[in-house]
Amino acid sequence: MKKTKQIKVGKVLIGGGAPIVIQSMTNTDTRDVPQTLKQIFSLADLGCEVVRVAVIDDQAAESLQELVRQSPLPLIADIHFDYRLALKALNKGIHGLRLNPGNIGARWKVKEIVSAARDRQVPIRIGVNAGSLEKEILAKYHGPTAEGMVESALRHVELLANEGYDQVKLSLKASEVPVMLQAYRQIVQVVDYPLHVGVTEAGTVRSGIVKSAVGIGVLLAEGIGDTIRVSLTGNPVHEIPVARQILQVLGLYKQGAELISCPTCGRTQVDLVSLAEKVEDRLMSLPALDRPLKVAVMGCIVNGPGEAREADFGIAGGKGLGILFRKGKIVAKVPESELLTVLLKEIEDYVGKHGLTSQI
């Protein structure tokens, strides 16, 4: 990974060679403390490490004190336009700010935020989105471009740098993956701040997963990115398993469960699609584990223990009968109707042995 400066959000280290951090954002009304906390705990259970909350008014800012007190994760306040909300969020103990200094207004307002953030050692994320670039930048580049996003980010960085503040994290998000890729590739050539990577407005769970996996995955494979968010329309709990999988596929996440399943062919005589989907659902609900876990669901003996020999355990179907195997060795023959139950029991036992509470 490209070496960046290191900042700390609560107790979570970001950048400077630290493991890549998974983030999300609540979609509850921040003023509704019980519901917001419920969502934060759900995100934490799935492996989220930092959560952002929208601070839309004074009441939302007031709620931060209780949210910070009870949250199991560091919280970032999402602020736009009103510098007073940023100051109040800092007074309530927030662990990080997300704002664009350029839309805060007069320089003295930015200066007040920086002074309060410095006193509390709270980092600021400058979030640039292609869809909300300054009018003069849009005119200069004839629309939202990677070059325009970089120029906007550097303008905001300069505002903070002029106040002697470098506890900064950057994001340059676009809904168009090629634009987003170009923006991040350009910004790493000129700054060494930690980068928050994501595809904004990626879409629903179905389409957004593809865009996020391509955009985030390409950058991470190039060594760009210190923290990520998979932005999906709907409940943010769907974002975390996807983020974990992206990191896992790239060998950057060592605590997840990975499903291996064959594509099926004419030899398949069991309902493999249904089996694989049910196992995947269970794996995605697991908490973070203390080591990688590979689970295989294979359609026949040919592709069973052989091609999936590296799996910790798995099942392979036959005609009315299947096998359970561990590390390529057959340990039991099982009626087809019991394959799922037996495999889930293996997963449950593994999770229990490692001192975790499974949601299976």
- What pLDDT score was predicted for residue 359? 39
Residues 286, 197 share a domain: no
Give me the CATH number covering residue 233. 3.20.20.20
Contact yes or no for 218/246 (Cβ under 8 A): no
Domain residues for the domain of 122 are 7-249
> Would you place residue 271 in the very low, low, confident or very high pLDDT band (cuts 50, 70, 90)?
confident
Query: Residue 308: what are its φ and ψ, rounded to 5°?
Result: -115, 30
Residues 226, 94 share a domain: yes
Last residue of a domain, one of 249, 269, 296: 249
Residues 333, 210 share a domain: no
Instruction: Name the DSSP class of 94.
Output: -
Evaluate whether residue 359 is within a structural domain: no
CA distances 24 to 44, 46, 224, 273, Å, are 10, 11, 19, 30
Give me the CATH number covering residue 319. 3.30.413.10
Evaluate whether residue 218 is within a structural domain: yes
Evaluate whether residue 358 is within a structural domain: no
Contact yes or no for 344/281 (Cβ under 8 A): no
Q: pLDDT tens digits for 334-357?
A: 888 888 888 888 888 877 776 454
Q: pLDDT tens digits for 112-159?
A: 999 999 999 999 999 888 888 888 889 999 999 999 999 999 988 988
* Residue 291 to residue 307: CA distance in whole angstroms: 22
Q: pLDDT tens digits for 159-191?
A: 888 888 999 999 999 989 999 999 999 999 999
Evaluate whether residue 338 is within a structural domain: yes
* Residue 23 to residue 8: CA distance in whole angstroms: 14
> Would you place residue 302 in the very low, low, confident or very high pLDDT band (cuts 50, 70, 90)?
low
Domains held by the chain: number: 2
Evaluate whether residue 347 is within a structural domain: yes
Residues 80, 41 share a domain: yes
Q: Which of 6, 2, 65, 11 is nearest to 33 (CA)?
A: 65
Higher pLDDT, 343 or 285: 343
* Mean pLDDT across 70-84: 94
What's the distance, CA 240 to chain centroid? 5
The pTM of the full predicted model, rounded to 2 decimals, is 0.84
